[in-house]
Structure 1
């Protein structure tokens, strides 16, 4: 039986640097409701790639296609989902090459009693639980990293670069997915509080007003000299985070 009531929302804004350079928004996000559940995904095209905006859009569509196939294959596991996402992405970026379309991929697939999470590359996924013990964060710790290298969808499928988790949907109130234009600016150990506040502030608004306020918030991002595209998407239950 489908978990109820699950809803989704999100928004994306182009970074000031890309506006000045007349470069399109390289972030993408999409959410869809199916009879069997919900899928939410965000993707950030690598800035150095010629068609990274196309690659991020293809990543979102690839997750939808993989999720639908997964529902029709009872014996499939998380590794099968990741392989399907990669294969679908290679098809959907045509006629461009994978080198020119590299993109990150973060998703949440909710069906029946579970939520499956996957993260490849920069960005963050925060699962806000009903209690503190059910909270979960999937992210890079860039403060301890000396490399600018970002894992992403590329020609070769590398399942070991993905971080995944499966959680009980009954213990989860919401899942927030953010590209690194948001996550990189959050203070250490503040991610959960940020997401809880975000859910409580925006989930009760009407769809039109929510999108308007989200875009306003990201365009007025309170970090000096911020330049990156910014995307936030959320899968949530009515009633707020806590």
Structure 2
């Protein structure tokens, strides 16, 4: 049985606070029968129900992974997640609730499966996985409610060991980290939360995100972090 230390935090950005809008990110880390799942979603800001889209996407992932085997085919898993998300939206149109979706699924044997649709960053001790969709006219990220193509998902599968780290973060964080320093950033967080209760760790990390060093930052900031203890 894998044992982890985990933390998940989502902080509304100054831009949404100023405009009286809700946090459009959502994050969760939960134990499931097959191990652990972490999800980070970033609702597309221009969409009317982007905050709802991101929350329901996190729940859709959790509800599906709670009921399936770890060896389920990736295409079937994503199909089930997308359908669960659509059903949860009810009368809300998918195009009005577009959200990115970053998933890490860790088995009791330390196997890790990752799935990413849209921008943001998935980071492990083995590899940095960042996906940004853009053109000369700026960011045009994809997400649930915009893409229906399996090929738009980035998928990995590898083995982790004791001491390895898994982090998922929205672009409100990842875009402000200098390239090549991603692991240093995550390791600094994992060192700072050692010995802290979950409540203490969350309070500290929320304060760090609210006092973000990048001048004139506006975006919501969400991160899920897992450290394998054994």
TM-score (norm 2): 0.92
Partner of 1:132: none
- 1:186 matched to 2:177: yes
Match of 2:210 among 219, 226, 231: 219
Structure 2: unaligned runs, 5 residues or longer: none
For 1:125 and 1:156, how far apart are their aligned partners in 2? 19
Q: How many Å apart are 1:174 and its aligned residue?
A: 1.6
Structure 1: unaligned runs, 5 residues or longer: 129-134
Match of 1:118 among 115, 118, 131: 115
TM-score (norm 1): 0.88
Question: What does 1:44-63 align with in structure 2 at a 5 Å threshold?
Answer: 44-63=42-61
Q: How many Å apart are 1:34 and its aligned residue?
A: 2.4
RMSD over aligned CA atoms reads 1.9
Question: What does 1:131-150 align with in structure 2 at a 5 Å threshold?
Answer: 135-140=126-131, 146=136, 147-150=138-141
**2:161 touches 2:228 (CA, 8 Å); kept in 1?**
no
Give a deviation string over 1:78-101, Cα, whole Å, max 9, x none: 222111111111111222110110
Partner of 1:127: 124
Structure 1 pair 100/172, CA: closer, same or farther in 2 (3 Å)?
Answer: farther
Match of 1:81 among 71, 77, 81: 77
For 2:87 and 2:162, how far apart are their aligned partners in 1? 36
For 1:203 and 1:231, how far apart are their aligned partners in 2? 20
Q: Which runs of 4+ in 1 moved over 4 A?
A: none
Partner of 1:65: 63
